[in-house]
Each structure stands twice: as C-alpha cells, then as structure tokens.
C-alpha cells in the first residue's frame, strides 16, 4: 500500500480562521471629516536568493481636496510619460531606472499640498530566524499592521481635529487579505490596544485599476524602494525620498518612527548616506 502524504499542518496563526467582522465607524465617528489612505507595497516577502532585500509599504493619506490635487498631478505625469489609457501608471512600467522620469515624478508629487505619508520598510537581512519574517503571511500582517497603526494615529492627531479614514491596501498576488483583516481584528480586540481602530470608516484591499490614488501610492513606494534597495553596484538613492520628506508625517520633530518606520531598527535608515536628519532625536 503506498504511503499517503501527511496532511498539511494546520496553520498556527490565530488569524488563519474565524469570523470576519467589517470595520465600521460608529455614529459619532461617521460625523467626522473624512480622510482616505491608499497603501501600496514594494518588494516581496520572500527570503530566497531571488527575493528583494527589502519589503516596504507606502501609505498616502489625503483629505478630499488634497486627493483632487494629487489626481491632477497623476494625470500630468501620465500625460508626460505617455502612459496608455488602458493601464495604470506604475513605477515598474513607466519609471524604474529612468532618472529623469523619477525626478519628474518626485518633484511633481512633492509640490502637491496636503499629502501626508507613512512609510514602513523592513530590512530582511536583519530579521532574526524565528521572527515574523519567516512566514510570508505573518510578514505581510505585521508590516501592514505597523502601517495601519500609523495611519490611525495620523487621523487621530490630524491638524484641525480627528478624522475618520477609509483605508485601501493594494491587493497582493498570492496573499489572503482576509487573514490580515482577522489579524487587525485580533489586535483591535486586545484590551491593551492603544490604536484608535474606531476611526476606520472602511477597510478594503483593492486592485491597482480601481482607484487612481493607488497609482500615486505606487510612485511613493518607488521612492522608498530607491532609497533602501541597493542597485547592482550596492548603491541606494535617497534623492526622491528626500524630495517628499516634508510630506512624511513628523512627530517630536522627526519622521522616525511614526512617519517612517525602518525595521528592525531605525539605525539602518539613519546610517544611509542620504539620511537628511544628522542629529535625529527619533528612536
Ligand atoms: Zn530625525
């Protein structure tokens, strides 16, 4: 009798199974002015020889008026780059190693008023064995949760008062976003949580073609990639990230770590040749 293959092990992640409850703003929160957050990722979550050295996410947070301005800037870039109307503009397809285009994109977006950015970026080589980086789903969940926390803190302390926020993560191939939703749900149920989950008006994973702002988030992800992902000669280019530095959320005088969260620690970012904050107070 041939041996049967053993059954696959049951996922040990608590987020792998269970009910999914939508995040909905209560009546008082639903009265607050609105924000939208569009999040895109850069790099992959793998740990093999062909995997990216970094995995990061860029969140673009906008009020409705800033979203109009950002979409106008996007239309300008699409026109200038000749992006076909049949597809989204993307860092990969329209810019990548074209320095003039990257420069044009970063200077154009840097001039858009009212954009607030959150960045989380992980140096995979510095993650120890046994950490969240070992499992691609956990890796995504932990990174996305660091972004979510920072988006919600930004909404909570928004200039002029608290805001409700519609959150749209970019859909990632071969990732089950329901697992991430449950992961957030478990975090929100913790009595120790200091994250204002109540400000979420909606939470979704969307395709790159659904919202124009996802294209904007993709470009901001490209600036992050350039700054942290060494090229074939080992160099990083922080020029574009520096152009948009003023748009990254600041706290206590610096972007680290509520606006820019380098993982596993901020020394990695502070040691970059382009890092613009030599006397950084951020831990
Ligand atoms: Zn600093």
CA of residue 200 to ligand 1 center, whole Å: 29
Q: Could you tell me the distance, in angstroms and rounded to a whole number, from the CA of residue 262 to the centre of ligand 1?
A: 12
> Once rounded to an integer, what is the mean pLDDT over residues 71-76?
98
What's the gap in Å between 266 CA and the centre of ligand 1?
10
pLDDT reported for residue 8: 59
Domains parsed from the chain with CATH numbers? 34-270 (3.30.420)
Report CA(269)–ligand 1 centroid distance (Å): 10
Ligand 1: centre distance to CA 48 (Å): 32
Percentage of residues in the chain having pLDDT higher than 90: 85
Q: Ligand 1 centre from 247 Cα, in Å?
A: 14
169: CA distance to ligand 1 center in Å? 27
Q: What is the whole-number distance in angstroms between the Cα of residue 107 and the centre of ligand 1?
A: 22
Q: Is the pLDDT of residue 74 over 90?
A: yes
pLDDT of residue 205: 97
| pLDDT (0 to 100) of residue 238 | 97
Integer Cα distance of 259 and 249 in angstroms: 4
**Whole-structure pTM value:** 0.94
Q: Report pLDDT digits (tens) over 78-111.
A: 999 999 999 999 999 999 889 999 999 999 999 9
Separation of CA 248 and ligand 1 centre (Å): 11
CB atoms within 10 A of CB 15: 20
Q: What is the pLDDT of residue 94?
A: 96
pLDDT tops 70 at residue 2: no
Reported as a pLDDT band with limits 50, 70 and 90, residue 47 is confident
CA of 168 to the centre of ligand 1 (A): 28
Ligand 1 centre from 123 Cα, in Å? 19
CA 276–ligand 1 middle distance (angstroms): 8
Span from the CA of 280 to the centroid of ligand 1 (angstroms)? 3
- C-alpha 282 – ligand 1 centre gap (Å): 5
pLDDT at residue 1 tops 70: no
Residues near 192 by Cβ (< 8 Å), separated by ≥ 6? none
């Amino acid at each position: 009798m041939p041996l049967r293959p053993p059954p696959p092990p049951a996922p040990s992640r608590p987020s792998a199974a269970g009910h999914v409850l939508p995040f909905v703003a209560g009546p008082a929160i639903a009265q607050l002015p609105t924000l939208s957050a569009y999040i895109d990722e850069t790099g992959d979550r793998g740990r093999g020889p062909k995997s990216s050295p970094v995995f990061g996410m860029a969140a673009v947070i906008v009020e409705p008026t800033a979203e109009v301005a950002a979409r106008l800037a996007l239309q300008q870039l699409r026109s200038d780059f000749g992006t076909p109307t049949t597809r989204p503009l993307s860092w990969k397809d329209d810019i990548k190693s074209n320095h003039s285009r990257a420069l044009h994109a970063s200077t154009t977006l840097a001039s858009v008023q009212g954009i607030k950015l959150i960045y989380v970026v992980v140096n995979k080589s510095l993650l120890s064995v046994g950490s969240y980086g070992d499992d691609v789903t956990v890796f995504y969940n932990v990174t996305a949760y660091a972004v979510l926390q920072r988006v919600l803190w930004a909404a909570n302390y928004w200039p002029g008062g608290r805001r409700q926020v519609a959150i749209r993560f970019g859909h990632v191939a071969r990732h089950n976003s329901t697992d991430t939703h449950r992961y957030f749900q478990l975090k929100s149920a913790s009595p120790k949580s200091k994250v204002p989950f109540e400000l979420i008006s909606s939470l979704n994973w969307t395709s790159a073609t659904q919202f124009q702002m996802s294209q904007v988030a993709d470009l901001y992800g490209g600036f992050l990639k350039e700054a942290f992902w060494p090229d074939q000669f080992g160099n990083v280019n922080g020029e574009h990230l520096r152009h948009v530095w003023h748009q990254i959320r600041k706290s206590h005088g610096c972007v680290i770590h509520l606006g820019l969260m380098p993982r596993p620690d901020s020394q990695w970012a502070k040691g970059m040749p382009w890092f613009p904050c030599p006397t950084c107070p951020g831990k």
